Structure 1
């Protein structure tokens, strides 16, 4: 039935970028198997409209399936500008260096005549100190995520059952980092 739908719709496979396979049984023995189960399909009219379309196979971090991501237009994505404001995250208090950054900013010298001016100055200085600290924390965490993601990609691209333990360890670390980001 599915094949009939594909034929009737004149649908074609859009291919892939990076890893061809979208599923792995994660066995560490001779029953190790990888397959390309997931595909993006389109008809010729759609392909002409979205000529720059690209399908990327993402890394399997939480599952034995690798998700696929369809990019339709790079121009549309780059047109958006993101503006972020400062927000204190409650879980930061558990992060290394947060208390120190806040204490250092709060304990510093202050300007102002009234008590309110002193407090406002200290709050602003603390905000700036925490912004600087959080940028470094996020940069360090993102670097670690990039490194582990690259390693996981290299491991998943090999067709060897001997890499499964390392893949599982990498996935566990990435899960930890992603849970800390949220």
Structure 2
């Protein structure tokens, strides 16, 4: 660590410190072999520190990696509010047990004096009304639950040790499920933006195209003899 500090001084960089829990890594052990260290830091040069004098680094909770993420707070961003207009079924609703029970309840009710097609239309309309009413506070409630569990994780991680690692792991698992639902919610919104802006020559289009190109790039394959080939012509020949 001392060598690291000297290297920072020689390059003109400085550690921005931390807020909250100091330790960014632990080995996850629940016995006497438990270890935690501050392995991760954020550094900046003199110009950046002069420009963002109020900047700070917040150590966040983690639920997947054994390293805690670091959030650089350069300025306070106001919250953005999105107002819903037309009804759209949210894919993440399917991960909620209550959603399935609600649809099943609406669909099981018989509609008197109506033909088959009319009955289906009425059930769809009732589902729309029920889902809209049910989901009204779902996203806010989930966001609040995520924040609440993040706070609980942070408190537990302040005193993390072999005696509470089991509780921390359980809370991380619950947090992971909530974040999977949020991830699905925002994936659906990205697709909506793609339908509106995807074919236009915009920054959004180029960002999506570059990301897709990186994802679809084939860097190596194994041929019919099981050899790993990495050259472009060899990859083409293997296919």
Normalised to the residue count of structure 1, the TM-score between the two structures is 0.74
Separation of aligned partners in 2, 1:162 and 1:79: 38
Separation of aligned partners in 2, 1:145 and 1:50: 29
Larger displacement relative to structure 2 (154-163 or 133-142): 133-142
Larger displacement relative to structure 2 (60-69 or 79-88): 79-88
Q: Go from structure 1 to structure 2 and tell me whether the alpha carbon gap of 1:163 and 1:99 turns closer, same or farther (over 3 Å shift).
A: closer
Matches within 5 A, 1:59-138: 59-74=61-76, 77-78=77-78, 82-85=82-85, 86-93=87-94, 95-98=96-99, 127=128, 129-138=130-139
Higher relative contact order, chain-length normalized (CA < 8 Å, sep 6+): 1
Corresponding residue for residue 36 of structure 1:
38
**Offset at 1:176?**
1.6
Higher alpha-carbon Rg: 2
Contact 2:16 2:56 (C-alpha < 8 Å) held by counterparts: yes
Q: Which runs of 5+ in 2 are unaligned?
A: 110-120, 185-239
Q: Go from structure 1 to structure 2 and tell me whether the alpha carbon gap of 1:69 and 1:173 turns closer, same or farther (over 3 Å shift).
A: same
Corresponding residue for residue 169 of structure 1:
170
| CA RMSD of superposed structures (Å) | 3.4
Corresponding residue for residue 58 of structure 1:
60
Question: Which one of 35, 49, 58 corresponds to residue 51 of structure 2?
Answer: 49
Normalised to the residue count of structure 2, the TM-score between the two structures is 0.59
Q: Go from structure 1 to structure 2 and tell me whether the alpha carbon gap of 1:47 and 1:128 turns closer, same or farther (over 3 Å shift).
A: farther
2:170 is equivalent to residue 155 of structure 1 = no
Give per-residue Cα distances to partners, 1:94-142, cap 9 Å, x unaligned: 53443566676xx8xxxxxxxxxxx6x9977755543332133223333
**Offset at 1:34?**
1.0
**Offset at 1:47?**
1.1
Contact 1:97 1:133 (C-alpha < 8 Å) held by counterparts: no
**Offset at 1:25?**
0.8
Separation of aligned partners in 1, 2:78 and 2:132: 25
Q: Which runs of 5+ in 1 are unaligned?
A: 108-118
Give per-residue Cα distances to partners, 1:28-58, cap 9 Å, x unaligned: 1222111111111112221110112111101
Contact 2:102 2:130 (C-alpha < 8 Å) held by counterparts: yes
**Offset at 1:63?**
1.4
Contact 2:95 2:181 (C-alpha < 8 Å) held by counterparts: no
Separation of aligned partners in 2, 1:129 and 1:38: 47
**Count, aligned residues:** 173
Q: Go from structure 1 to structure 2 and tell me whether the alpha carbon gap of 1:30 and 1:55 turns closer, same or farther (over 3 Å shift).
A: same
Q: Go from structure 1 to structure 2 and tell me whether the alpha carbon gap of 1:99 and 1:166 turns closer, same or farther (over 3 Å shift).
A: closer
